[in-house]
Amino acid sequence: MDPGEPLESGGASGAAPVGTDRVVRVDAGEWGWTWAADADGRLHQVGLGPEGARAPVEVDPVWYPDAHPTWGGADPLRPPALRITHADGTTTTRLRLDRVERQSVGDDETVSVCAFDEVFNLRVRFHARTHRASGVLEQWVEIDHDEDGPVTLWDHDSIAPTFLVGPDAAITQFGGAGWADEWAWTTERLTPGTKVLDSLGGIQPHLQRAPVLLLEPNGPTDEESGDVVGCSIAWGGNTRFALDVRPRANEELRDLRVRAGANPLGAHYVLEAGDRFVSPTVAWTWAQGRQQLSDRFHRWTRDRVLRDPGRTRPIVVNNWESTFFDFDEARIIGLIDRAADLGADLFLLDDGWFGTTHPRDDDDAGLGDWDVDRRKLPGGLEVLVRSAEARGIRFGIWVEPEMVNPDSDLFEAHPDWVIRDGREPRLHRNQLALDPLLAEVRDFEVGVVDRVLAAAEGATYLKWDANRPVTDPGSRALPTDRQSNAWVDWVHATWDVMARVARAHPATEMMLCASGGGRTDHGTLRWFHEFWTSDNTDPVTRVRMQWACGHWLPMSATAAHVTAWGGRPLPFACAVALSARFGFDLDLDALDADGLAVCRRAVACARRTQDLVQHGRLRRLVSPVDGDRSRAALAFVSDDRGRAVVFAYQLEESTTEAPAIRMDGLDRDAAYTATVTDLTADPVELGPFTGAALADGVLGWNLTEPTSTRIVELVRSDAADPPGGGPGGVSRSATGTAP
Ligand code: DGJ
């Protein structure tokens, strides 16, 4: 219980609430925000940003607008973050501070601001949980009531902070045209008015827009400097960022209100007395420079989100792009052999292995029937698992437990298990989604994974896919006047299934996939080890996608497989996949000797560098999303600065002068040996170079051909040998000049 304390320096300046007498400070580590209750218990934001946990700043918004526009007198009309129709039909809410609770765990604390409506029996709790090791703050809202009937939540945002922004304030959103265009990078200047960035479809909304937002309140930033706010809605359903920009009279500065949470469009929530609405958690930070933003999100994702974050992820060989549905036992065993020959860690059998009365020979049948198709695989999954084990590699298996083809035994037995409204449900990829609000469906989905892992006894990896959005929303688990609740309840029900699966199979590594990167949010990822970034594996596009999603997620979780997509040179495709969680989805049987040699070099490189890529510090050096977008360079540096790997990519023809690669994060005085390869030949040793020379750009660009690459490994002279025994077959450069 926080008894409240007087505001420092005589209260907020400008149009601060008169009579402010109680403050709540949340110190997120190098930034924070401060709320204050005025004498009547009305809550205001009085500080936000680097100084926000200490000093008030000149903003005076109601900190969580509750649909009472004249509140406090000085507040402009605002779109509400919380909009409720109460049981008696009243459409406004007036919250007052009740108490503040603080709960500490180690260095961190959860601050809960408890408020209540001044007339109705309705309570709102605002929770803020710090993660000071990273500087990311998690916030969510809980609402309950004892009114004389249900209340309707029309808007139910998780946060609604207000920023004072400059005329060049900008936002970046991450989403493109849908399938195969995830993580497209769009930056725009903020102008007065309301801008809504939302997503729909429930099951794979991130195909439209990843639920993250980058805000530069004072204009463009770079890696090292400038105010940058990053915000992630940890929600496996539809999300909304609503940005409301208000000019100030005779000032360049503007007020920006950012509301973030579950998208309420079509998803107003009818809350019974005694029930509790829990909003998505929004994780956010205020950083100086984009490097710090990523450092923070990576650290927080590792500490609070991913399963087994310290475990180095395997080199995966997947069969999807090489076989699609068309394979048999001999073909798969052949691919397992090739994967083992190459030195991969794991073979992943994708879609198409199941369906008996309705064989899964295409995407139009069999989904839901999780028995092995013995026509294709007469020895069952066991034979494949044993074959992988005999070759010393692991086995993984694909499932899509939330879905069904109408052409399946499951649908014939349970046509009423699907998500649908009063119409005939529309097919998407010839399939329907099962309704997880039905307890029998949740049990079935958990059972699918149990059954499949039992049939593939010894399998240690599972790819969880979901290949359609919700288009005809409805659930027979809900009464007719509660149908809109489904959008929120489906997320919790699906998470319940995923949590049960993760608990039942703690040793199984799990990949999250939804038609590519349709599910990559920090909420759903809690039950997974990694995600499938996109079905688009054209390495030119992938460089930009991985660049974008690397702002929020560590590369240990970002799966990247070498494929034939785009017909790019194999060394280039390998080099792009090597800068994330590396694997192949290539017809290994079809490789000629040169191709095989390139893949072998790539696997050897992965062995030497995967600990850096997955657990080291990402440094972005040359951007493929700014300027002429023709080049990219990024590096990963070990915590002790003893080792690093640099990836440089010439993506397209350049129209600008080549940049130097200015290596960041090394010891300036130490000497580093450098080995360089483009994967067409074994690495060549160069240098040594001092950390200072590397920082000053001694590594020239030296790439001109589109889709060419260079990988430079740096080892400080006193550092231990890298894993994998050092670059095999290293030869000394004839000239000894910089690569
Ligand atoms: C979509 C996924 O993104 C692909 O990798 C593959 O697993 C297919 N589904 C299989 O249907």
3-class state of residue 380 by DSSP: helix
Judge if 635 and 714 occupy the same domain: yes
**Any domain includes 582:** no
Residue type at position 383? V
Query: pTM, whole model, 2 decimals?
Result: 0.95
Number of structural domains found in the chain = 3
Q: Which residue in 485, 487, 465, 470 sits closest to 402, CA to CA? A: 465
Ligand 1 centroid to residue 294 C-alpha, Å? 28
Instruction: Tell me the CA distances in angstroms from 297 to 86, 142, 212, 619, 706, one per residue in order.
Output: 38, 24, 11, 14, 32
Ligand 1 centroid to residue 169 C-alpha, Å? 39
**Any domain includes 548:** no
- In this structure, how many other beta carbons lie within 10 angstroms of the beta carbon of residue 453? 20
**Any domain includes 161:** yes
Ligand 1, pocket-test mutation among 207, 320, 400, most atoms within 8 A of CB: 320
Query: To 5 degrees, how large is the angle CA 360–CA 362–CA 368?
Result: 40
Ligand 1, pocket-test mutation among 467, 537, 562, 565, most atoms within 8 A of CB: 467
pLDDT given at position 18: 36
Low-confidence ranges of the chain (pLDDT < 50): 1-20, 56-59, 70-73, 729, 731-739
Task: Return the ligand 1 atom nearest residue 398 CA.
Answer: 7
Q: What is the CATH number of the domain that holds 34?
A: 2.70.98.60
Read off the pLDDT of residues 272-297 as tens digits, 9 standing for 90 and up: 999 999 999 999 999 999 999 999 99
Last residue of a domain, one of 262, 277, 304: 304
pLDDT given at position 34: 87
Ligand 1, pocket-test mutation among 360, 465, 545, 586, most atoms within 8 A of CB: 465
Query: To 5 degrees, how large is the angle CA 617–CA 622–CA 623?
Result: 100
Q: How many helices (H) and strands (E) does the chain have?
A: 11, 37
- In this structure, how many other beta carbons lie within 10 angstroms of the beta carbon of residue 247? 14
Task: Give the CB-side neighbour count of residue 640, counting CA atoms within 13 A.
Answer: 9
Task: Return the ligand 1 atom nearest residue 350 CA.
Answer: 7
Q: Which residue in 187, 184, 183, 124 sits closest to 159, CA to CA? A: 124
Q: Which residue in 257, 258, 163 sits closest to 217, CA to CA? A: 163
Number of residues that make up the chain: 739
Residue type at position 417? W
- In this structure, how many other beta carbons lie within 10 angstroms of the beta carbon of residue 392? 9
**Any domain includes 193:** yes
Judge if 457 and 393 occupy the same domain: yes
CA–CA gap between residue 542 and residue 549 (Å, rounded)? 10
Ligand 1 centroid to residue 559 C-alpha, Å? 13
CA–CA gap between residue 710 and residue 649 (Å, rounded)? 7
Task: Return the ligand 1 atom nearest residue 513 CA.
Answer: 3
Task: Return the ligand 1 atom nearest residue 535 CA.
Answer: 3
Ligand 1 centroid to residue 437 C-alpha, Å? 25
Cβ 203 vs Cβ 518: under 8 Å: yes
**Any domain includes 564:** no
Q: What is the CATH number of the domain that holds 619?
A: 2.60.40.1180
Ligand 1 centroid to residue 102 C-alpha, Å? 45
Ligand 1 centroid to residue 311 C-alpha, Å? 25
- Determine the longest span between alpha carbons in the chain, in angstroms: 85
Ligand 1 centroid to residue 400 C-alpha, Å? 9
Helix axes 329-342, 380-390, angle to 10 degrees: 20
Task: Return the ligand 1 atom nearest residue 534 CA.
Answer: 3
Read off the pLDDT of residues 584-631 as tens digits, 9 standing for 90 and up: 999 999 999 999 999 999 999 999 999 999 999 999 999 999 989 999
Helix axes 593-615, 329-342, angle to 10 degrees: 70
Ligand 1, pocket-test mutation among 404, 513, 530, 586, most atoms within 8 A of CB: 513
Please give the structure tokens belonging to residue 579: 């800068």
Last residue of a domain, one of 304, 333, 361: 304
CA–CA gap between residue 466 and residue 154 (Å, rounded)? 28
pLDDT given at position 11: 28
Give the residue numbers spanning the domain of 234: 13-304
Task: Return the ligand 1 atom nearest residue 463 CA.
Answer: 7
Residue nearest to atom 11 of ligand 1 (CA): 351
Look at strands 581-584 and 684-690 and give their pairing. unpaired
Ligand 1 centroid to residue 351 C-alpha, Å? 7
Residue nearest to atom 1 of ligand 1 (CA): 515
Judge if 120 and 252 occupy the same domain: yes
Ligand 1 centroid to residue 522 C-alpha, Å? 21
Indicate the DSSP class of residue 387: H
Ligand 1 centroid to residue 177 C-alpha, Å? 18
Last residue of a domain, one of 304, 339, 365: 304
Residue type at position 602? A
H or E stretch at 385: helix 380-390
Helix extents (H) in 456-578: 486-504, 539-549, 570-578
Cβ 531 vs Cβ 210: under 8 Å: no
Q: Which residue in 115, 137, 139 sits closest to 125, CA to CA? A: 115
Cβ 509 vs Cβ 460: under 8 Å: yes
Judge if 200 and 230 occupy the same domain: yes
Ligand 1 centroid to residue 96 C-alpha, Å? 50
Cβ 379 vs Cβ 386: under 8 Å: no
H or E stretch at 207: none
Ligand 1 centroid to residue 326 C-alpha, Å? 14
**Any domain includes 588:** no
Task: Return the ligand 1 atom nearest residue 363 CA.
Answer: 11
Instruction: Tell me the CA distances in angstroms from 708 to 186, 338, 703, one per residue in order.
Output: 26, 26, 7
Judge if 144 and 290 occupy the same domain: yes
Q: What is the CATH number of the domain that holds 412?
A: 3.20.20.70
Cβ 431 vs Cβ 419: under 8 Å: no
Ligand 1 centroid to residue 515 C-alpha, Å? 6
Judge if 393 and 257 occupy the same domain: no
Judge if 470 and 323 occupy the same domain: yes
Look at strands 581-584 and 558-562 and give their pairing. parallel
Judge if 101 and 195 occupy the same domain: yes
Residue type at position 615? H
CA–CA gap between residue 49 and residue 287 (Å, rounded)? 9
Query: To 5 degrees, how large is the angle CA 655–CA 660–CA 665?
Result: 135
**Any domain includes 154:** yes
Ligand 1 centroid to residue 558 C-alpha, Å? 16
Ligand 1 centroid to residue 505 C-alpha, Å? 22
**Any domain includes 574:** no
Ligand 1, pocket-test mutation among 399, 532, 562, most atoms within 8 A of CB: 532
Ligand 1, pocket-test mutation among 326, 349, 351, most atoms within 8 A of CB: 351
Ligand 1, pocket-test mutation among 402, 535, 537, 586, most atoms within 8 A of CB: 535
* DSSP string across 52-88: TTTS--S---BSS--S-TTTTTTPPP---SEEEE-TT
Task: Return the ligand 1 atom nearest residue 532 CA.
Answer: 3
CA–CA gap between residue 38 and residue 447 (Å, rounded)? 54
Judge if 320 and 300 occupy the same domain: no
Ligand 1, pocket-test mutation among 179, 321, 350, most atoms within 8 A of CB: 350
Ligand 1 centroid to residue 200 C-alpha, Å? 20
Cβ 407 vs Cβ 358: under 8 Å: yes
In 146-263, which ranges are E strands?
151-156, 162-165, 170-174, 185-189, 193-198, 212-216, 227-234, 239-247, 254-262
Please give the structure tokens belonging to residue 215: 């805000």
pLDDT given at position 60: 52
Ligand 1 centroid to residue 570 C-alpha, Å? 22
Instruction: Tell me the CA distances in angstroms from 618 to 558, 691, 697, one per residue in order.
Output: 13, 17, 18
Residues within 6 Å of ligand 1 by CB? 320, 350-351, 398, 465, 467, 513, 515-516, 532, 535
CA–CA gap between residue 405 and residue 362 (Å, rounded)? 11
* DSSP string across 429-491: TTBEEB-TTSHHHHHHHHHHHHHHHHHTTT--EEEE-------S---TTS-GGGGGGHHHHHH
Judge if 528 and 623 occupy the same domain: no
Tokens 């809960």 locate to 112
Judge if 271 and 354 occupy the same domain: no
Residue nearest to atom 10 of ligand 1 (CA): 351
Ligand 1 centroid to residue 333 C-alpha, Å? 20
Judge if 474 and 440 occupy the same domain: yes
